[in-house]
Amino acid sequence: MQYFVQQLINGLTLGSIYGLIAIGYTMVYGIIGMINFAHGDIFMIGAFTALIVFLILGAVFYSVPVVIALLVMMIVAMLLTSLYNWTIEKVAYRPLRGSFRLAPLITAIGMSIALSNFVQVTQGPRNKPIPPMVSQVYNIGGISVSLKQIIIVIVTVSLLAIFWYVVNRTSLGRAQRACEQDRKMAALLGIDVDRTISITFIMGAALAAVAGTLFLMYYGVVVFSDGFVPGVKAFTAAVLGGIGSIPGAVVGGLMIGFIESMWSAYFSIDYKDVAAFSILAIVLIFLPSGILGRPEVEKV
């Protein structure tokens, strides 16, 4: 039982990170109907930015309180990562909006390849380890919970709350939802569609940057190719939850996190990704629009 709860906590931590990345996929999909394949690499850029900020802080100030260090890392990572996503949208996706559906998918894949190789070229191909930032571990009734895990869950929950407020209670969120429903009509009603889409990309990137910072803090290492696997997992999470649905992305992220930690704990760690992908396939066969997705109506 203790072991199970332990795995549940590990799954929750992992799932939080996936969920944060998955929101970026699902929002972009919701608003312009494309798979932003570069999003995983945006996450990686976020992690790298956080890494460099961490090193700057270490080099300039001798010692910085962990909370402040994390906060500064997160904020700088959010700013720069958002700038990346904003630029990518403007350069690679906007010219193709409204044309052929596969064209932006290909530019997104191209951007994904370019971003990871850009980081490989500029930062080198090796693993980048950092000394552990927080190492406290609490023991509650035989279950060890690390401070890192607590930070991850708290940051995720508070970000989701802010995010939920923005999407559901502000005029920006209303504009986003309107664009999601009918972009042309939204434009006719005076919504600046371009700006709304840009902001959506910025929001997605900001969440991915936070996920990147948390990832760096949790694992203490990052490498240029780290965008792919978490990216694909998060995308899987978004689809599992029902792509286009923000609560779905969180639910999907948590599910993937739980599946992975449980599978590694009880079966074989080698096949944890196989399990995650197989469960995706099985869920989609029975629920073709994911868990919380709106069913696609076949209009005849």
Cβ 76 vs Cβ 236: under 8 Å: no
List the one residue from 52, 66, 143, 291 that touches another protein (CB under 8 A).
52
Q: What residues from 159 to 188 belong to the interface with another protein (CB under 8 A)? A: none
Residue 132 binds another protein (CB under 8 A): no
Q: What residues from 55 to 84 belong to the interface with another protein (CB under 8 A)? A: 55-56, 59, 76, 80, 83-84
Least distance to another protein from the beta carbon of 163, Å? 23
Q: Which residues contact 200 (CB under 8 A, 6 or more apart)?
A: 27, 28, 31, 176
List the one residue from 66, 123, 133, 150 that touches another protein (CB under 8 A).
123
List the one residue from 47, 115, 151, 203 that touches another protein (CB under 8 A).
115
Q: What residues from 239 to 258 belong to the interface with another protein (CB under 8 A)? A: 239, 243
**Which H/E stretch holds residue 245?**
none
Least distance to another protein from the beta carbon of 160, Å? 23
**Which H/E stretch holds residue 100?**
none
* Half-sphere exposure (Cβ direction) of 231: Cα atoms closer than 13 Å: 26
List the one residue from 71, 110, 158, 162 that touches another protein (CB under 8 A).
110
Question: Mutual orientation of helices 2-32 and 39-60 as an angle, nearest 10°?
Answer: 110
Residue 47 binds another protein (CB under 8 A): no
Q: What residues from 177 to 236 belong to the interface with another protein (CB under 8 A)? A: 228, 232, 235-236
Residue 87 binds another protein (CB under 8 A): yes
List the one residue from 43, 48, 201, 218 that touches another protein (CB under 8 A).
48
List the one residue from 64, 66, 72, 130 that touches another protein (CB under 8 A).
130
Question: Mutual orientation of helices 39-60 and 66-88 as an angle, nearest 10°?
Answer: 140
Structure tokens given for 222: 């990052």
Q: Which residues contact 234 (CB under 8 A, 6 or more apart)?
A: 18, 19, 21, 22, 24, 25, 39, 40, 43, 253, 256
Which amino acid is it at 288?
P
Stretch binding another protein (CB under 8 A), from 13-21, 148-156, 196-204, 287-295: 287-295
Residue 270 binds another protein (CB under 8 A): yes
Convert 82-99 to b/e letters by CB count within 10 Å (16 or more is b): bebbeebbeebbbebbee
The smaller minimum CB distance to another protein, of residues 180 and 273, is found at 273
The smaller minimum CB distance to another protein, of residues 23 and 80, is found at 80
